[in-house]
Amino acid sequence: MSFFLVICLWSFLACKNNEHKQDHGSATPPSTASTNPQSSHFETIKQLPMISPDSVFALYSQADYLDFLFTSLPVSINASEPSSVRTHMQSFDPNPFVPKPCDNIGRMFIYSKGQQLTEADIYTNGLDCHYFVFYDGATPTHISGMTNTGKTFFKSILDRYR
């Protein structure tokens, strides 16, 4: 129940702070790390806690609609068919991993009964870098690796529309 309240709070803050969203692009070489906001953002990402298996299960159990908005691709995708939503929700891997700097290709919005549960930036290069960063408003809160299901899906999107 407390997880549901946290998700509701995230949703409220996300709507309230929509105008404060940042670009979360790829990191730059270490020589400019101290003055580059993207490098600073990656340093923040590396420190984030993993999303818990309970949180992943709660999202899987509650989600009934997804929106994928891609930052530099000429496509957006939504999913409302229960089997499609479940398949996409299997993209989150709560097992520990070490993130690499790679491109933020878009954002995934997760809904239940018309209410936004959470949102996550999608980081992938289609090769060896795949993860999600979850947000509470404009603040990154958790990180999740990406399962093979997610890797395959997002690689197909990159291959088709890049």
DSSP per position, 79-126: E-SHHHHHHHHTTEE-S--------EEEEEEEEETTEEEEEEEEEE-S
User: Quick check: 16 pLDDT over 70?
Assistant: no
- What are the beta bridge partners of residue 144? 132
For the chain, the structural domain boundaries read 2-161
- Considering only CA atoms, give the Rg of the chain: 15
pLDDT in tens, 78-119: 999 999 999 999 999 999 999 999 989 999 999 999 999 999
Task: Classify residue 157 by burial, with Cβ atoms within 10 Å: 0-12, 13-18, 19+.
Answer: buried
Give the amino acid at 28: T
Tell me the pTM: 0.75
Residue 40: per-residue pLDDT: 80
Largest CA distance in the chain: 47
